[in-house]
Structure 1
Amino acid sequence: MADKLSITAEKRTEFGKGAARRVRRADKIPAVLYGHGTDPFHLTLPGHATMMALKHTNAVLSLDVEGDEHLALVKDVQRDPIKRTIEHVDLVIVRKGEKVIVDVAVHVEGEAAPDTLVTTDYTEVSVETDFTSIPESFVVTVEGLEAGNQILAGDIKLPEGVTLITDPEALLVNVTQAISEEALEAELAEAEEEAGIEHEESDEEAAEGGDEDKAEGEEEAKSEDA
């Protein structure tokens, strides 16, 4: 379940890209807090503490903003696409007893039956739950499943008080018959033929072809001598 993590935040009065860069250089993170009809709070969060808190999925933060406490759910985290450092955090205010809709990761465990292929169509599902009881993840098992078996969103065992928002018929995991290497090569060759793709003869194939031609020539010569 989600942990409530305490963080001391500061109100931010400077805005724009330059101000955000200065905040990050000071090992802090720009953030915005909104919700419940309040005006957005532009905040600065401590870099290390925030990074540790965001290791928790759907983290709930207890923010101390200049002496005022705000409970907030992490709604969005923007990261640098290269360095993966945290660029900005969106937080939404939550109140005690309030339910929220969040995405929860789905983990697949176990080994399906031999000669099967397991594919995952969804890696998370949406649920509605009290913000104090957000599941960290859901686990589904494919242990021993034969080809033809499927796991749907509605098959997940939900804790009490958690409601599934994702379509119950949504396919999470599909177990199919694994294709043999020979069949895969045949399908690939057929697809290439339909697409008009021709491969240049390799040196080995050319050498083998030359040996076959030579052998055929020798056989023909023997026949003529006879």
Structure 2
Amino acid sequence: MAEVKIQAESRTEFGKGAARRIRRDNKVPAVLYGHGTDPVHITLPGHDTMLALKTANALLLIEVEGSESLLALPKQVQRDPLKGHIEHVDLVIVKRGEKVQVEIAVHIEGEAVSDTLVVLEHPSILVEAEATHIPDGVTVSVEGLDAGAQIHASDLKLPAGTTLAVEPDTLVVNVTAAQTAEQLDAELSEAEAEAGIEKDEPEAAEEPVAAAAE
């Protein structure tokens, strides 16, 4: 994974008021920590940070004027729940060659046989990899798999230098038989019965009364 260079500024103002002023200038308050160092409070350029963090586990080269450059990984990203823009970033310092544990995405490719349902039990999986060689994700194929097939963490083909950080028998993908319309109706009726919902029986159509013979 390529490093993304970001020019940062030292931050001496703290609190909600200071954070709002930083965001108004299209910048992002952030904290660097790790490797036994005291937390370093910095300000990041908003646009560059947004672009960099579109990539999961982005490796950032943080350059602060008057300080040495630091490699860091995003640990926590706080976003505005409505507008989605970045409000704060926690960054953990890493060193070249060291191993880190990160979540990487699991991607499914291919098509299972007809009348099956492919369930991704774990959209991401925890792995251990070198900080400068974190894979973008891992791809698993369900091509031709039948109902009952399962893919576990131990079945994943990880890049060289990357190892699992979860139990090998962790279920990642589960292929099940697709439910029929009758099964879905039966489950719905059962759920309604448990919830005490009673369906009104359709009223029987009234039979026409034969006209009396004159």
Quote the Cα distance in structure 2 between the aligned partners of 1:90 and 1:47. 14
Aligned AA for 2:97? G
Alignment of 1:51-70 (within 5 A): 51-67=50-66, 68-70=68-70
Correspondent of 2:207 among 199, 214, 224? 214
Deviation at 1:72, TM superposition (A): 1.0
Aligned match of 2:20: 21
Aligned match of 2:48: 49
Structure 1 segments of 4 or more deviating over 3 A? 193-196
Quote the Cα distance in structure 1 between the aligned partners of 2:191 and 2:42. 56
Aligned AA for 1:114? S
Quote the Cα distance in structure 2 between the aligned partners of 1:22 and 1:198. 57
Alignment of 1:95-174 (within 5 A): 95-174=95-174
Bigger Rg, structure 1 or 2: 1
Give the secondary structure class of the aligned counterpart of 1:5. strand
Deviation at 1:194, TM superposition (A): 4.5
Alignment of 1:186-197 (within 5 A): 186-197=186-197
Change beyond 3 A, Cα 1:114–1:37:
same
Deviation at 1:187, TM superposition (A): 2.7
TM-score (norm: length of structure 2): 0.93
Aligned AA for 2:28? I
Change beyond 3 A, Cα 1:132–1:188:
same
Give the secondary structure class of the aligned counterpart of 1:88. strand
CA RMSD of aligned residues (A): 1.7
Point out the more displaced range, 115-124 or 15-24: 115-124
Give the secondary structure class of the aligned counterpart of 2:101. strand
Aligned match of 1:30: 29
Aligned match of 1:4: 3
Quote the Cα distance in structure 2 between the aligned partners of 1:195 and 1:63. 56
Quote the Cα distance in structure 2 between the aligned partners of 1:63 and 1:160. 27
Deviation at 1:160, TM superposition (A): 1.0
Quote the Cα distance in structure 1 between the aligned partners of 2:186 and 2:73. 52
Aligned AA for 1:95? K
TM-score (norm: length of structure 1): 0.88
